[in-house]
Amino acid sequence: MTPSIRYLTVDLSEGSDDVHSLEAMASTREAQHDAVMAEVAQMQGWARRVFANRQGPVEEGYAWDDEVLVQQEADGWITVTLTFSASQEFVEAFLAEFGERDD
């Protein structure tokens, strides 16, 4: 069953050094911020379950690492960006689970 991801859009950038970047981003008003953060937690939880004990610098042989950035914009919007640095194995599993949404 594919998880329901409503707010985050996903973009894949393939690296030349076997380190890929998956970026999930959403820009919403305060009313939707908790739902966006729940989607971030869902993706991170999946990564921790499926690739348990494999989080760390991908350049050093780990499967994935992540970073979350939350920016409060001046006009009342909140932008959340979850970036995974990932191995090819992680990318394939992630896209099978969540799909690639860049709409």
Q: Give the pLDDT confidence score for residue 103 in this predicted structure.
A: 46
Residue by residue, DSSP assigns 5-41 as --S-EEEEE--TTS-EEEEEEEEE-HHHHHHHHHHHH
The pLDDT tens digits for 57-82 are: 999 999 999 999 999 998 889 999 99
In the chain, the largest separation of any two C-alpha atoms, in whole Å, equals 41
3, 98 Cβ separation under 8 angstroms: yes
**Average pLDDT, rounded, for the chain:** 91
Q: Give the pLDDT confidence score for residue 42 in this predicted structure.
A: 96
pTM (2 d.p.): 0.91
Q: Domain spans of the chain? A: 9-98
**Pairing between strand 78-86 and 20-28?**
antiparallel
